Chain A
Amino acid sequence: MIAELGHFALILLLALGCAQAVLFCPVRMAFFRPIKLASEHGEILAQLSPEKGNAGFEADKGQTARLLWPLPVMICLLAFMAQGALIYSFIISDFSLPLVADYSHSSTPLFYRISAAITPENCAILLWISLTALASVFFWVQSHLSQRIQNTDTTLAVLGLIMALLAASAIIDGNPFLRDPAPPLDGMGFDPLRQDVLTLIHAPLLYAGLAALSVIFATTFAALPRAQLDRVWARQMGPWAVSAWLFLGAAILTGTYRSYIEQGWGQWWYWDVVENAVLLPWILATALLHCLTALEKTEALKPWTALLALSAFGAGWFGMFLVRSDWLGPLPAALIATGEHATLLIGFCIVMGGAYFLFSRTAGQLREAADFSFLSRESGLFINSVLFAVAAAIILTGTVYPLIVRWIGDSIVTVGPPFFVQALLPVVVPILLVMGLAPSLRWRQDRAFSLAGRLKLPLIMSAVITLFVWMRHINASPLPLLGIGLAAWIVTASIADLWERLRRNRDQSGTKYRNIARLGPHYTGMTLAHIGMGLLVAGASASTLWQEEIVLSARSGQSIEIGPYNLQYEGVALLPGENYATRKATFILYQNAQPLGQLSPEVRYYPVRGVETIEADVWHSRDGDLHVTVGERAEDGGRIVNIRFFPMMSWVWAGMIIILIGGIMSVFMRALLFFKKNEGPTQ
């Protein structure tokens, strides 16, 4: 019964989404003139458009949104009802729903039943719709609070269309609420690889990112026809762009850490479709953030910014389609064909085709308000965002290449990490170079001589650091060395610029606190993110450069030395888990004969799916990560033990977290500024 209610909510949502797309669209006057005269609502509509003579394209001042605001709110409620109905069906293990039968089992713990209702791709489309609906309500609130939001109606119309298309995909491609006339007695179980808290956090972060991107897309789409890509547009997009970037970044962090623990060999990035599907929109969102800064400051780079805003959402949608459709091969662990998701693809084509068509019509007429010279902050931001876009194009190519080859040549190829590393290297190196340089550049125009003066110190320091590392590791391969050099360059250049600015601010008087506050949300966020990126690159380079690995067959009581540590193997115990059996090994960790703690890697066996998973245990410290996994019993009676020491791996995690803190700081400071401004004229 509850499932039917959810089904009904989903269908109603589709209808209301279409209604929102039509009713909020300002062009409707031209399309629906005869209908309007006949309809009962004729009077209301007439009130909405006082200048009736204007052929349908009157200014969008958000009148419809003021009148019909319950519509987006209703859609949001319906979406959460549908999502709630699915979660409820999972909780009560209603196996007459094929999705529940596919992804859950009577032995699955309650927590993971909820997780199963949200995380698998087929279920997650409801989460995607819900968060998009929530974002459109937030957008309405934003436009209500601030008088400076443009094109509210058109934006909501586009969002309505997006939600209707997603709902259509949910209904047609794999309706979660259709019952199986002959339900199985029990389900197939939750995918053991997903049985983790991090996976449950990952899904809402990812879809919140996509939802924020859809608002960015809709805002841009709405601004295109009359080429209103100005400062106001950039300012209203700002919070959405930062939060999309932040959510997607957090999704990448959780996904990365999960695969670091889950995969036996301690790698944390695999370039597989699921990862690329999040990375692509994140890269484009990063590029967009940079361009928005330039646009807000000097009204430069308008068409390019608009293109990035449209493409970031497109990349997100396309990635979700690739992950869902089984075209790139079903995941061995899933064992379930998920179908083609044709409706999702058609929806993508409608939305993005319309957007690019509109772009091709209007982008040529966009006037750049400002000109800038080659050596200026604008050109630095532009070059970097172009490089980001090229990186995204390379990743997209690598991801769909196997499909294209299969269609053309009927042969099977796989594209792995070597391709991505080789192809991305020539792009990433300049990105990192410009990343250190651009913050010190002046707007409009800069002089090479004074720039060199400002950057002299960071340049020397990073060269010294690289040389120092090279002297100590004379046989090191060039790639990690290059990484360390670039990381040092970014961090020193960022700090030097920060120092310079704080000094300049102090000269204009003010306490230290105000000095920092005066840096503004953009600059604070950027500096933190850049320093975090530097740490990440340094950590990734160092951990590949100095990583140590020991594989051995260990016996109880054996002591193993690795890095600065000493590990004592205690043995393996067979223990029952919630819905699995686990072989849990125990290691005691010593440093300088002092016991530090205990590590217990596991091998879990999930009987329902018949799958074994590896759960590594990791000791994080300032020096690096100790990554321990256990395997099978060896022929000599010992236990295969795999121990890796990744020096400076903590820098990678710290770097990622600092990047995200940069985003959070920027959002926080923006919010403070916003409310300060609304309080009244204080200055």
Chain B
Amino acid sequence: MRFWIAVIPLVLFVALAGAFLVNLGKDTSVVPSALIDKPVPDFSLPPLPGRDKGLARSDLANGQVSVLNIFASWCVPCRAEHPLIQRLAKESGVAVYGLNYKEKDPQDGVIWLNELGDPYTAVGMDISGRTGIDFGVYGVPETFIIDGNGRIRYKHVGPVSPDILQNVLLPKIQELQG
């Protein structure tokens, strides 16, 4: 009897620790998007100041694979990944759209792109962060891969690294293009 009581803590511990150990290595930063394989949320965003084309859902569901990159001028990792987004646009050949997230001043995004170069086919301004919420954004930068039917097929949270570009994003785009 006393032996069995003494074993209870061990059993509970093994259950809890086991659950964590088994799930070790599963990349949870990818899973949380409830939007995977779901259609892109409906939205329509105004263009950057001085440009005429904004961004809307129809741009992302036009029969072609596309990439949506969420960035902000105040976000340092975005600056770090920017050259890789440029490489992505050049090497993949698909349209890369930008969502300029929660800018203090609409002009900031324009200055930023003028300074670093503009790889985006079109950019929408999400000043309020409302569209960002629909996309489940919880840390800028984030990068979505969207298929021709306007379904989100992949989501990467955090800055894109050369490794991720080469081994994850580009293969995924090729796979979707068939």
Q: Which A residues are closer than 8 A to B by beta carbons?
A: 184, 188-189, 303, 307, 310-311, 314, 326-327, 329-330, 332, 335-337, 340, 342, 345-346, 348-349, 352-353, 356-357, 359-364, 400, 403-404, 406-407, 410-412, 607-610
Secondary structure at the A interface, as helix, strand, loop or mixed, is helix
Since A345-B17, A360-B10 are in contact, a sample of 8 more A-B pairs with Cβ atoms closer than 8 Å, ordered by chain A residue number, is A188-B76, A311-B9, A314-B13, A329-B138, A330-B139, A335-B75, A335-B139, A363-B2
Q: Does B114 contact A (CB under 8 A)?
A: no
Chain A residues with Cβ below 8 Å from B24 are 340, 342, 345
| Beta-carbon nearest neighbor of A356 in chain B | B10
| CA–CA, A411 and B31, complex, Å | 10
Q: In the complex, what distance in Å separates the CA atom of A404 from the CA atom of B76?
A: 33
- B17 in contact with A353 (CB, 8 Å): yes
Give the distance in Å from the alpha carbon of A386 to the alpha carbon of B36 in the complex.
44
B9: contacting residue among A330, A348, A360, A406, CB under 8 A: A360
**Among B16, B19, B77, B157, which residue has its beta carbon within 8 angstroms of that of A188?**
B77
A306 to B89, CA, bound (A): 61
Of B5, B9, B72, B74, the contact of A356 (CB 8 Å cutoff) = B9
8 smallest CB-CB distances across A and B, nearest first, come from A610-B74, A363-B6, A356-B10, A364-B2, A364-B3, A188-B76, A360-B10, A360-B7
Which residue of A188, A360, A407 contacts B6 across the interface (Cβ within 8 Å)? A360
A407 to B157, CA, bound (A): 19
| Selected A-B contacts with CB under 8 Å, 5 pairs | A327-B28, A337-B158, A342-B24, A345-B20, A608-B76
CA distance A360 to B32 in the complex (A): 38
Instruction: Report Cα–Cα, A207/B19, bound state, in Å.
Output: 27
Known: A407-B23, A610-B74, A610-B75. A330 touches B10 (CB 8 A): no
Question: B161: shortest Cβ distance to chain A, in Å?
Answer: 11
Inter-chain contact A359/B138, CB cutoff 8 Å: no
In the bound complex, CA of A609 to CA of B76 (Å): 7
B90 within 8 A of A: no
| Interchain nearest-CB distance for A355 vs B (Å) | 9
Asked, given contacts A188-B77, A364-B2, A364-B3, whether A329 binds B9 with beta carbons under 8 Å apart, the answer is no
- Does B170 have its Cβ within 8 Å of any Cβ on chain A? no
A359 to B5, CA, bound (A): 11
The reply to whether B74 and A609 form a contact with Cβ atoms under 8 Å apart is yes
Query: Is there a chain A Cβ closer than 8 Å to B133's Cβ?
Result: no
Check: B14 CB closer than 8 A to any chain A CB. yes
Name the distance in Å between B176's Cβ and chain A's nearest Cβ: 22
Q: Are A610 and B10 in contact (CB under 8 A)?
A: no
Task: Verify A359–B28 contact, CB threshold 8 A.
Answer: no
Give A330 to B13 CA distance when docked, in angstroms.
Answer: 26
Bound complex: CA A555 to CA B138 (Å): 36
CB neighbours of A330 from chain B (8 A): 29, 138-139
Closest chain-B Cβ to A419's Cβ sits at a distance in Å of 19
| Also in contact, A353 and B77, with CB within 8 A (given A332-B139, A345-B20, A406-B28) | no
Q: Are A345 and B21 within 8 A (Cβ)?
A: yes
- CB <8 Å contact, B28 and A353: no
Quote the shortest CB–CB distance from B15 to chain A (angstroms). Answer: 11
A335-B139, A364-B2 are contacts. A349–B75 as well, Cβ < 8 Å? no
B111 interfacial contact with A, CB 8 Å? no
A357 touches B10 (CB 8 A): yes
Tell me the smallest distance from the CB of A450 to a CB of chain B, in Å: 34
**Minimum C-beta distance from A390 to chain B (A):** 13
Closest to B7 in A: A360
**What are the residues of chain B within 8 A of A337 when measuring CB–CB?**
29, 157-158
A406→B10 contact, CB < 8 A: no
Q: Residue on A with the closest CB to B74?
A: A610
* Nearest Cβ on chain B to A408's Cβ, whole angstroms: 9
B140 CB-CB contact with A under 8 Å: yes
Q: How far is the CA of A349 from the CA of B13 in the complex (A)?
A: 9
Closest residue to A303 on the B side, CB-wise?
B6
Q: Report the Cα distance A17→B74, complex, angstroms.
A: 44
A312: min CB distance to chain B, Å? 13
Does B50 lie at the interface of the complex (its beta carbon under 8 Å from any beta carbon of A)? Answer: no
Complex CA distance for A188 and B77, rounded to whole angstroms: 8
B80 at the interface (CB under 8 A from A): yes
Tell me the B140-176 residues at the A interface (CB within 8 Å): 140, 157-158
Which of A342, A353, A361, A404 is B19 in contact with, Cβ under 8 Å? A404
Known contacts being A340-B24, A406-B32, A609-B74, is A352 close to B17, with CB within 8 Å?
A: yes
Shortest B169–chain A CB gap in Å is: 17
Most buried by A among B7, B14, B17: B17
